[in-house]
Structures are given as structure tokens and as C-alpha cells.
Amino acid sequence: MSRKQHDHLSSRELLARIGLNNEHTNHLLDDDPLDDLTGDLGAALRDRYQLFQQPHNFAVGDLVTWKPGLKNRRLPRYANPAIVVEVLQTPVLDCENDSASTYFREPLNLVLGMFYEEGAIRGEFLTWHYDSRRFQLWTEK
């Protein structure tokens, strides 16, 4: 689509195109992929651990999404892409002080960009740091 065609979109139309409509709720586990936990819990834990340990070599410009069942932050939503802005050679450790937090000393080695979904800055492109072990390459379905 040419730049000229984008110039004619209203803010509401642009937000709808990128999936930021008012009907969507923003729960941590939207489209929860944990339905597979009805059987053998031990096997499910082993499978999830294997997925967590499966490495990906991301590059700037790659589109990524959460691996199933490994989402630990509100954004991006499951199945929505984020773009790799930077891959850090030395991870930044989350400075959460409570060892009971899921973020305690989490190695944040991936900077992702995405559209913010709420409030006055809704639709703005922002970046956050993430643990790359929780992501996979995004494929359009």
C-alpha cells in the first residue's frame, strides 16, 4: 500500500487495521494457550520447558510473537507481532527486588517495538525490553 493511501486513513481506521479497537480486553493471558494442562502435568511442564529453552537467533527487523504459554507481560497480545528493534549482547537484568516476582533478575536481551493500546498515547509506537527465550518468529495466519 502506498504512503499516499495511508494519508487518507482516519486515526480510528488506522487503529482498527492494527487491531487496536475498543472492544478488546487486555488481560495478561488473553487467548490463554494453557488448555493443554488437563492431562499429565509433568509432561506439560517438560514440554513447556523445552519450548522455553529452544533458542532463536533474532535480528533487527524480525517480527516476533510469544511462544505458547510463555507470556509473562501484558504486551504484545498473543498472536500479535512485535518488531525487533535491538538484540542486546549483554542482557539487562530486571531490577525487581522481590524474588517471588516472575521478573526477578529476568535477563532482558531483546528490545521490541509495538503499538501501545491504551490511554492518551494509544496507537503510538513504543519499545520495551524482553527475555528472548519467550519469543518465536511471527508468521501471519
HEC secondary structure over 5-71: HHCCCCHHHHHHHCCCCCCCCCCCCCCCCHHHHHCCHHHHHHHHHHHHHCCCCCCCCCEEEECCCCC
**Is residue 74 pLDDT above 80, yes or no?**
yes
What pLDDT is attached to residue 120? 85
Direct distance between the N- and C-terminal alpha carbons of the chain, in angstroms, rounded to an integer = 20
pLDDT band at 12 (very low <50, low <70, confident <90, very high): low
More confident residue, 2 or 68: 68
What pLDDT is attached to residue 35? 57
Using an 8 Å Cβ cutoff, are 94 and 63 in contact?
no
Q: pLDDT of 93-138, one tens digit each?
A: 988 788 888 888 999 999 999 998 878 888 899 999 999 999 999 9
Enumerate the domain spans of the chain. Answer: 3-137
